[in-house]
Structure 1
Amino acid sequence: MKYYDIMNSACLDVGLSMNEEIYRKFIQYKDLIKFWNEKVNLTAITDDEQIIKKHFIDSIKIFKFSPLKEAQSIIDIGTGAGFPGIPIKIIKSDVDMILLDSLNKRINFLNEVINKIELKYTTTIHGRAEDFSRKSEYREKCDVAVSRAVANLAVLSELCIPYVKVGGHFIAMKGPSVEDEIQEGKNAVSILGGKIEDIIKIEIEDSDLKHNLVVIKKVKETPNIYPRRAGTAAKKPLK
């Protein structure tokens, strides 16, 4: 139970609580990350404490956006090793969670995590975000889209906002300096049907780590021409 207290503090900070079953799932998840990381490049962070703080607690802090606790369907775009989607799912077990990633090795890892720690109502998608948001079963179907992927806000918005229902939210997990990125991406967000609603500052327990949640509300439908073809958003971000 070495890390129980720090994880419990993080949960309490966002109005949630830790219990032994949730903690056990997180520790199983950590062990699977370390095992798979020897053959698949999942993360450069391999120290137990750093996995707990930089991945797990960082992901838990997304619940600082309190309406997330009421969401019934969430998609995590560019989930990688499952952040923030799997920690969200461990904490909020009743949510329908979709984990999307373009690398099949990571999807294989995620499927093992889902099976080993028994995460119900969790789906993985192997593919590009631009392709699946054009499908009727995914377009504007989720209450919330989340992403911790490394891309600027204009690019991420084009990949994520099309999945969100009108009235729902896209939450972009960003580093400590987001002001310039928000100014540059504000028009793109608007074009895609979104409106920047809040910027929530995040601090990680027992560390100097600071982050931001950029909260975007979906206020109107995304025009049918978006997202553009795979790779276009990164090459020619909306301005």
Structure 2
Amino acid sequence: MTPQEFYDHLAAAGFVLNDQQKAQFNRYFELLVEWNEKINLTAITARDEVYLKHFYDSLAPVLQGHIKNQPLTLLDIGAGAGFPSLPMKILCPELEVTIIDSLNKRISFLTLLAEELGLTGVAFYHGRAEDFGQDKTFRGQFDLVTARAVARLQVLAELTIPFLRINGQLIALKAAAADSELLDAKIALQTLFAKVDETKDYQLPNGDSRNLTIVRKTKETPNKYPRKAGLPNKKPL
């Protein structure tokens, strides 16, 4: 997907990028490739692939109608190089974006990226989701949590649901259909007082399969969750 094809696909979906937004995506690509030589951010570095498999792919929650350009608080867990939240921030600048990542070098990249792109209303924190999930400054504070290919839903639920306000939503971006994950996550979702609102399979313009699963928090998360760092992965609910 060339940059022009990226602009055209977004325009066809009702999102016409202005010159600033186009420049922001271009600079994002340049910095991603530049920093990828110092730290491992992505295996995808070709321009057309980055525009399709990182930028366009990250915009699915907006293109599918789940996120609009509103001052919603959005937390991105394990965002790595800023996906999916920062492409959505460029497209929907009113979003208030927070990213938590366990690698400080990635936080350094994201901080510089935000400065270079002129992004405001963004915040980056170094640490584990399990630790921040027990911090009252973060727990129960967000309208939305996004996660892109971070973990199976059974594990992901424990890492994300505690951050949401009641009726807040987890938006999980997956590379494939989520049927088996939903079945495995049934007990975890019940334990955490969350329910699946929607799961949808779709395709990228090149035909690659993707899935978007929306989980809503229905009651306050029990205080014991999330458990200590590492436990959600070792002993899923």
TM-score with structure 1 setting the length = 0.94
Question: Equivalent residues in 2 for 1:102-141 (5 A)?
Answer: 102-141=102-141
Deviations 1:24-43 (Å, cap 9, x if unpaired)?
A: 10110000000000111000
Query: Who is 1:234 aligned against?
Result: 233
Question: Equivalent residues in 2 for 1:1-239 (5 A)?
Answer: 3-10=3-10, 12-13=12-13, 15-69=14-68, 70=70, 72-205=72-205, 207-238=206-237
| Secondary structure in structure 2 of the residue aligned to 1:66 | coil
Determine the C-alpha separation between the residues in 2 that align with 1:12 and 1:141. Answer: 34
Q: Sequence identity, in percent?
A: 37
Determine the C-alpha separation between the residues in 2 that align with 1:193 and 1:65. Answer: 25
Determine the C-alpha separation between the residues in 1 that align with 2:49 and 2:66. Answer: 28
Deviations 1:85-134 (Å, cap 9, x if unpaired)?
A: 11111111111100110001110000010100011010001000000111
1:194/1:216 contact within 8 Å kept? yes
The answer to which of 156-165 and 173-182 deviates more is 173-182
Which runs of 4 or more aligned residues in structure 1 lie more than 6 Å from their structure 2 counterparts after TM superposition? Answer: none
2:7/2:16 contact within 8 Å kept? no
The alignment of Structure 1 onto Structure 2 pairs a total of residues equal to 235
Q: CA deviation at 1:71?
A: 5.6
Determine the C-alpha separation between the residues in 1 that align with 2:179 and 2:187. Answer: 14
Determine the C-alpha separation between the residues in 2 that align with 1:141 and 1:84. Answer: 19
1:10/1:60 contact within 8 Å kept? no
Q: How much is the aligned-residue C-alpha RMSD, in angstroms?
A: 1.4
Determine the C-alpha separation between the residues in 1 that align with 2:12 and 2:213. Answer: 21
Unaligned segments of structure 1, at least 5 residues: none
| Secondary structure in structure 1 of the residue aligned to 2:67 | helix
| Secondary structure in structure 1 of the residue aligned to 2:185 | helix
Unaligned segments of structure 2, at least 5 residues: none
| Secondary structure in structure 2 of the residue aligned to 1:156 | helix
Decide whether aligned partners of structure 1 residues 234 and 24 sit closer, same or farther in structure 2, where only a CA change above 3 A counts.
same
2:27/2:117 contact within 8 Å kept? yes
| Secondary structure in structure 2 of the residue aligned to 1:211 | strand
Determine the C-alpha separation between the residues in 2 that align with 1:71 and 1:196. Answer: 24
Determine the C-alpha separation between the residues in 1 that align with 2:164 and 2:106. Answer: 24
Q: CA deviation at 1:149?
A: 3.7
